[in-house]
Amino acid sequence: MQEPREVLRKIFGYDSFRGEQQEIIDHVIGGGDALVLMPTGGGKSLCYQIPALVRDGVAVVVSPLIALMQDQVDALTALGVRAGFLNSTQDLETRREVETAFLGGDLDLLYLAPEALSGGSAMRLLERGRISLFAIDEAHCVSQWGHDFRPDYLALSVLHERWPEVPRIALTATATTATRNEIATRLKLTEARRFVSSFDRPNIRYRIVPKVDPRKQLLDLLRTEHPGDAGIVYCLSRASVDKTAEFLRANGVEALAYHAGLDAATRAAHQARFLREDGLIMVATIAFGMGIDKPDVRFVAHLDLPKSVEGYYQETGRAGRDGLPATAWLAYGLQDVVQQRKMIDSSEGDNAYRRGLAAHLDAMLALCETTECRRAQLLAYFGEASASCANCDTCLEPPQSWDGTIPAQKLLSTVLRLQRERNQRFGAGQSIDILLGRKTDKVVQHRHDELSVFGIGTELQESEWRAVVRQLLAQGLLAVEGGYGTISLTDGSAAVLSRQREVLLRKEPERTRRAAAGSAK
C-alpha cells in the first residue's frame, strides 16, 4: 500500500498536508466514515482523492457540479490519475467506455451526478464494480433549508444500506451547527467522525455599505481599489445581472454575465473565459460559483442582500483562495429587506419553512447592522469564537453608536398613528416623508400633513432615517410585510414607545455618510 504522503508528493506535487487533511485521509483509508467541514479553498478534494489512490477499488464521487466534471477529470488525468465521469450530458458511446473502465477496475475515481444514483441503472452498475469509498461533495445540497438544495441528494442515504462496509466521506464548506446536524442525519452519517476546520479566511476584508447607487458604488470600488482585478459580482435577478454587466462594459470594464436564463453554451463559454483569462469580472446570480477554483479572484461584490449568512459566506469565500488580500463587499438597503420579505411571504412551502427563511434573513440583517467586528460575528454564526480581526470595515473604521431612542420613537409613533388613527399601512418612504414634513402628492392626498407627527423629524436627513428604519428592522422593533412592503409595529415596539427600552443605533462612518448624502435610495 502506498503512503499518503508519497502520493501527495509524487502525484500532486505538494510537500505537506494542510490543516487536518492528513488525519482525514488516514481515517478514510482506515475505513472510517467522515464528515468534513472546511471553508472554500481549504483543500477538501485531496481528502478523498488520496484515499481513492491508496485504497483498492474505484472511488465514487457524487458531485452536483456537472458543468465542472470534465474540468475536474481533465485536471486529474493531467496528473496521471485515472478518472472518469458519468452524467446526462454524455453520449451513449462515451458512457459505455466509462462503464467498462469502471467494471474493469481501470479507474481510480468515478464522478457521478446525484440524479444518476436515483435512477436504477447507475445503481446496478455500481453493484457490479468494486468500490473503494464514496465521497459526497457539496454535502450541504442535502439540506432543505439551504439555497443549494438538490432533492436527489436525499436518496444518497441508501449508499450506506447497500454498501455498509464501504467508507463514506461527506464534504462541505457550509456549516452552521444546524446544517451539520441535518447533513449527518439525512445522509445517515451521525456516527461519522467530524472534522471541523476553522472557517476563518483572514485575508478577506469584509465590508458592508449602505446602498445608494449600487452600480456607481461598484464602479468606484473597482476603479479605486481593484483596477484590472478579476472578481465576481452577485445580483439577485437575471435582469439586474444583465444590466450591471452592460453598465460595467459601457464604463470600460470587461464584464461577462452568467445566469440560468442564458443558454448552456454561453454559460460554459463565459465560465471558461473567467477561469482562463486575467482580470475578467463575472456578473452573476448565485447560479455561478460553486466548485469554481480560481485562486486569484480579488473581490466578491454583492449588489443585493444575500438570503442567508451561510450563502453570503460561501459566496464571499470564492475571493482570495491564493491567500493574498481580497475584498468581500456588500451594498445593502431597505429595499432589499422589503424585496426579500416579499419573496419569503410568496414562497411555496409551509409556515415552518417560511419561518426558517425569515430567520436566515434576520441573521443577515444583524450582520449588516452590527457595530462589532464582522468577522467575529460571521465566525460566531458558525460556532467559532474569535477576537476582533483588524481586517473588516467595523474594525478599521469603528462605527460609533448613538442613542437613537428619540428618532426611533418618532418613527414608531408615525407608524402607530397611521395604523391607529387612519387604519393605514404604508412603506417606510411615506413615514419618512411625514417626519421630514414633505408635502408630496401622496402626503397631501391622504392628508398626512394633518397628523401631529408631520415635520417632527427634520433633525435627520432622509438617508439617516432610512438607516434608522433598517436598524429597527434588524433589531426586530419594526416589521416589514411581504405583500406591499408596508411597515408595521412589532411586540418590541411598545417598549420603545413607552420609554422602557432604549435604542442604540449605528452611526455610519463619515466617508459612507458623505457618499449617502447625495441621492438617497
**Binding residues for Zn ion (CB under 5 A):** 373, 375, 389, 392, 395
| CA dihedral sign, ordered 308, 314, 318, 323 | positive
Instruction: Look at strands 504-507 and 400-403 and give their pairing.
Output: antiparallel
| Close Cβ partners of 121 (under 8 Å, ≥ 6 residues apart) | none
Partner whose footprint covers residue 293, from Zn ion, ligand ADP, none (CB < 5 to 8 Å by kind): ligand ADP
Residue 389 binding result from Zn ion, ligand ADP, none, given CB thresholds of 5 to 8 Å by partner type: Zn ion
Residue 309 to residue 319: CA distance in whole angstroms = 16
- Measured from the CB of residue 17, what is the shortest distance to ligand ADP in angstroms? 5
Q: CA-CA distance, 113 to 64, in Å (whole number)?
A: 6
Angle between the 428-435 and 462-474 helix axes, to the nearest 10 degrees? 130
Q: What is the spatial distance between Cα 63 and Cα 65, in angstroms, rounded to a whole number?
A: 5
Residue 11 interacting entry, from Zn ion, ligand ADP, none, C-beta within 5 to 8 Å by type: none
Binding at 392: pick from ligand ADP, Zn ion, none (beta carbon under 5-8 Å per type): Zn ion
DSSP string of 428-490? HHHHHHHHTT---HHHHHTTGGGSTTTTTTTTS-HHHHHHHHHHHHHTTSEEE-TTT--EEE-
Q: Kindly tell me which of 323 and 483 has the beta carbon lying closer to ligand ADP.
A: 323
Q: Which does 44 bind (CB under 5 to 8 A by kind): ligand ADP, Zn ion, none?
A: ligand ADP
Q: Which residues contact 210 (CB under 8 A, 6 or more apart)?
A: 331, 332, 333, 463, 466, 467, 470, 508, 512, 516
Nearer to ligand ADP, 295 or 349 (CB): 295
Residues that bind ligand ADP (CB under 6 A): 14, 17-18, 21, 38, 40-46, 293, 321
Cα–Cα distance for residue pair 481/321, rounded to 1 Å: 39
User: Hey, what's the cell of 146?
Assistant: 439551504
Nearer to ligand ADP among residue 43 and residue 279 (C-beta): 43
**Minimum gap (Å) between residue 317 Cβ and ligand ADP:** 8
- CB of 389: closest distance to Zn ion in angstroms? 3
**Nearer CB in complex with ligand ADP: 12/353:** 12
Least Å distance between CB 315 and ligand ADP? 13
Q: Which is nearer to ligand ADP, 26 or 449 (CB)?
A: 26
Question: Is the CB of 210 or the CB of 231 nearer to ligand ADP?
Answer: 231
Q: Locate the DSSP E strands across 177-288.
A: 193-196, 204-210, 230-234, 255-258, 281-284
9 touches, from Zn ion, ligand ADP, none (C-beta below 5 to 8 Å by class): none
Shortest distance, CB of residue 432 to Zn ion, whole angstroms?
Answer: 31
Question: Do 496 and 468 contact (CB within 8 A), yes or no?
Answer: no
Q: Which does 14 bind (CB under 5 to 8 A by kind): ligand ADP, Zn ion, none?
A: ligand ADP
Q: Return the number of the residue (38 or 428) whose C-beta is nearest ligand ADP.
A: 38
Residue 171 Cβ vs ligand ADP, minimum distance, rounded to whole Å: 7
